[in-house]
Chains A and B, each alone.
Chain A
Amino acid sequence: AQTVTQSQPEMSVQEAETVTLSCTYDTSESDYYLFWYKQPPSRQMILVIRQEAYKQQNATENRFSVNFQKAAKSFSLKISDSQLGDAAMYFCACPNFGNEKLTFGTGTRLTIIP
């Protein structure tokens, strides 16, 4: 069975600093996408960034980037220049059954310190 592990239930970072959220996963799929989602308090879950597994280049979206280590099945999220609006729950997600379903990690609650 596919599993996704986020070992940091909570993280905090000073505004404008950089923080890295960790995620490890296990999948039997040979080609797949990995995702980081953000869920602000009482608001909609939205996609932050995705990584295609066969691409060696790490994905980047503005201040958000990933460190994807396929052999180690590690998929961390780096947030640079942290802003107050980045405060949220962050979920890592891995597909199973040929991208038919997503399995989510338990989430990391990120607090931004002004």
Chain B
Amino acid sequence: EADIYQTPRYLVIGTGKKITLECSQTMGHDKMYWYQQDPGMELHLIHYSYGVNSTEKGDLSSESTVSRIRTEHFPLTLESARPSHTSQYLCASSDWASTGELFFGEGSRLTVL
């Protein structure tokens, strides 16, 4: 059973607010990822990390930022939310020496009014 947690599960906020989506995993995985899932359900990689102090941009450009100060924690921040940021955000992790299999959190559904 994968242990990766995301909070909040649902968030509705107004334009211009700063938000942080939290992601934590208890599996000791080095690699962590953020995917954005649009209404059509397609998944786009927006950020990933190989380990502590490592962050990389994904395939889809995003105005969000991430940090990796601890192995288990990979938060995503939007400094000024806009309606275009409305989406589901999925966090995932993977073992460095593994098959590349991802373990996903339950997701954070963000709505910006």
Q: Is the Cβ of B99 less than 8 Å from the Cβ of A101?
A: no
- Measured CA separation A91–B42 after assembly (Å): 9
> Binary interface profile of A, 75-114, with partner B (CB < 8 Å = 1, else 0)?
0000000000000010101010001111110110100000
The one of B45, B59, B101 that contacts A47, using a Cβ cutoff of 8 Å: B101
Interface digits, A30-65 against B, CB 8 Å rule (1 contact, 0 not)? 001101010100011111001010000000000000
Report the minimum CB–CB distance from B5 to chain A (whole Å): 11
CB-contact partner of A106 in B31, B35, B42, under 8 A? B42
Could you tell me how many residues of chain A have their Cβ less than 8 Å away from some Cβ of chain B? 25
Contact yes or no, B99 A33, CB < 8 A? yes
Find out whether the CB atom of A95 lies under 8 angstroms from the CB atom of B100.
yes
Tell me whether B43 and A43 are in contact (CB under 8 A).
no
* Residues A33 and B100 in contact, CB atoms below 8 Å apart: yes
**B residues contacting the other copy or chain, number (CB 8 A):** 22
Give A102 to B58 CA distance when docked, in angstroms.
11
Contact indicator A99/B99 (Cβ below 8 Å) = yes
**Chain-A contact segment, one of B12-20, B64-72, B74-82, B103-111:** B103-111
Residue B48 interfacial (CB < 8 Å): yes
Task: Tell me if B23 counts as interface (CB < 8 A to partner A).
Answer: no
Residues of A within 8 A of B41 (CB): 39, 89, 106-107, 109
**Known contacts A44-B105, A44-B106: A104-B43 contact under CB 8 Å:** yes
Q: A44-B106, A89-B41, A107-B42 are in contact. Are A101 and B101 (CB under 8 A)?
A: no
B100 touches A45 (CB 8 A): no
Distance from B68 Cβ to chain A, minimum over Cβ atoms (Å): 15
Return A90 CB to nearest CB of chain B, in Å: 10
| In the bound complex, CA of A22 to CA of B42 (Å) | 16
Docked-complex contact B42 and A101, CB < 8 angstroms: no
> Is A102's CB under 8 angstroms from B102's CB?
yes
B50, B58, B59, B105 — most chain A CB neighbours (10 Å): B59
